[in-house]
C-alpha cells in the first residue's frame, strides 16, 4: 500500500499547489483523484490529516531536491545562490490559493514556518562556509543569517508579498540576487571599499 499511498500523496500535492485545499471535502478529493474514500483514508484518517500529510511531503521533497542541487555545486561562493534559487524554483508551482490556504490553516502554516526557520539556519551555514573558503566577503555570518531570516519570515507570513506584490518564489529570487551582490560581487572590497590589505585573509565573525 506504501507505493499507492505515495502516488496519492503526489497527486494531492499537485492538486493543492494548483488549487489550494480548504475548498475540498474528502468526497471532492476522492472524485478528483478517481479513488474511493477508503483509499484516500489510507493517506490519513481525516481531511485535516490528509492536508498535513501532503503539505509535509511537499516541503520534505522540496528540501531534498534543494540540497541535491547545493551538493552538486562545487564552488562554495555559489552555493548560497544555488540554495536560494532552488527555494524559489520549488515555490514556483505554488498558487496564490495554496498560500492563502496555508496561511489560514495554522497546522499547515506551522509546517511552512518550521521549514523557513531551517532554511534561515542553512543560509547562515552557507555564508560561514563561503567566508571560510575565501569565496565571500568577510562578514558577520550570524548577522547575515538573522537578516535573511527576517526576510524569509516576511515572505512566509505574506508581509513581503503585500508590500511588493511579489509571490513567494519571486521574492526568494530577489533575495538571492540581493544577498549575492553583497557577499560575492564585492568580496574583494575591504572595509573602505578599496580592497583588502595584501596578505589579509578572509575572516568569519560568528
Phi then psi for 102, rounded to 5 degrees?
Answer: -60, -45
For the cut 80, the answer to whether the pLDDT of residue 188 exceeds it is no
- pLDDT of 186 reads 52
15-25 mean pLDDT: 96
pLDDT digits (tens, 9 = 90+) for 31-57: 999 999 999 999 999 999 999 999 999
Q: Dihedral (C-alpha) 129, 131, 136, 141: value to the nearest 10 degrees? A: 90
As for how many domains the chain has, the answer is 1
Residue-wise over 3-36: b if at least 16 C-beta within 10 A, else e?
eeeeebbebbbebbbeebbbebeeeebbeebebe
Q: Is residue 1 part of a domain?
A: no
User: CATH no. for residue 154?
Assistant: 1.10.357.10
Q: Is residue 160 part of a domain?
A: yes
Q: What is the distance between the alpha carbons of residues 194 and 175, in angstroms, rounded to a whole number?
A: 26
Q: Is residue 196 part of a domain?
A: no
Higher pLDDT, 11 or 202: 11
Q: Is residue 41 part of a domain?
A: no
pLDDT digits (tens, 9 = 90+) for 146-179: 888 889 889 988 999 999 999 999 999 999 898 8
Q: Is residue 156 part of a domain?
A: yes
Q: What is the distance between the alpha carbons of residues 183 and 137, in angstroms, rounded to a whole number?
A: 5
- pLDDT of 141 reads 80
For the cut 60, the answer to whether the pLDDT of residue 192 exceeds it is no
Q: Is residue 193 part of a domain?
A: no
- pLDDT of 144 reads 85
pLDDT band at 190 (very low <50, low <70, confident <90, very high): very low
Q: Is residue 5 part of a domain?
A: no
For the cut 80, the answer to whether the pLDDT of residue 196 exceeds it is no
Range of the domain at 91: 55-185
- pLDDT of 98 reads 96
Computed over every residue of the chain, the mean pLDDT equals 87
pTM above 0.85, yes or no: no
- pLDDT of 201 reads 41
Q: Is residue 67 part of a domain?
A: yes
For the cut 80, the answer to whether the pLDDT of residue 118 exceeds it is yes
Q: What is the distance between the alpha carbons of residues 96 and 168, in angstroms, rounded to a whole number?
A: 9
For the cut 80, the answer to whether the pLDDT of residue 185 exceeds it is no
Amino acid at each position: 500500500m506504501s507505493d499507492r499511498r505515495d502516488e496519492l500523496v503526489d497527486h494531492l500535492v499537485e492538486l493543492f499547489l494548483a488549487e489550494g485545499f480548504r475548498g475540498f471535502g474528502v468526497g471532492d478529493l476522492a472524485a478528483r483523484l478517481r479513488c474511493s474514500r477508503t483509499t484516500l483514508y489510507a493517506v490519513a484518517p481525516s481531511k485535516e490529516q490528509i492536508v498535513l500529510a501532503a503539505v509535509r511531503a511537499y516541503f520534505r521533497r522540496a528540501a531534498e531536491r534543494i540540497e541535491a542541487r547545493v551538493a552538486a555545486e562545487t564552488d562554495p561562493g555559489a552555493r548560497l545562490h544555488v540554495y536560494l534559487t532552488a527555494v524559489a524554483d520549488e515555490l514556483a508551482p505554488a498558487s496564490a490559493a495554496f498560500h492563502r490556504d496555508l496561511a489560514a490553516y495554522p497546522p499547515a502554516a506551522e509546517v511552512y514556518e518550521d521549514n523557513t526557520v531551517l532554511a534561515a539556519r542553512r543560509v547562515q551555514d552557507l555564508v560561514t562556509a563561503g567566508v571560510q573558503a575565501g569565496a565571500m566577503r568577510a562578514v558577520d555570518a550570524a548577522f547575515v543569517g538573522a537578516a535573511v531570516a527576517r526576510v524569509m519570515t516576511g515572505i512566509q507570513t505574506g508581509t513581503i508579498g503585500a508590500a511588493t506584490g511579489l509571490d513567494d518564489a519571486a521574492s526568494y529570487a530577489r533575495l538571492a540576487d540581493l544577498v549575492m551582490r553583497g557577499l560575492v560581487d564585492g568580496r574583494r572590497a575591504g572595509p573602505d571599499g578599496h580592497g583588502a590589505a595584501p596578505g589579509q585573509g578572509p575572516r568569519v565573525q560568528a
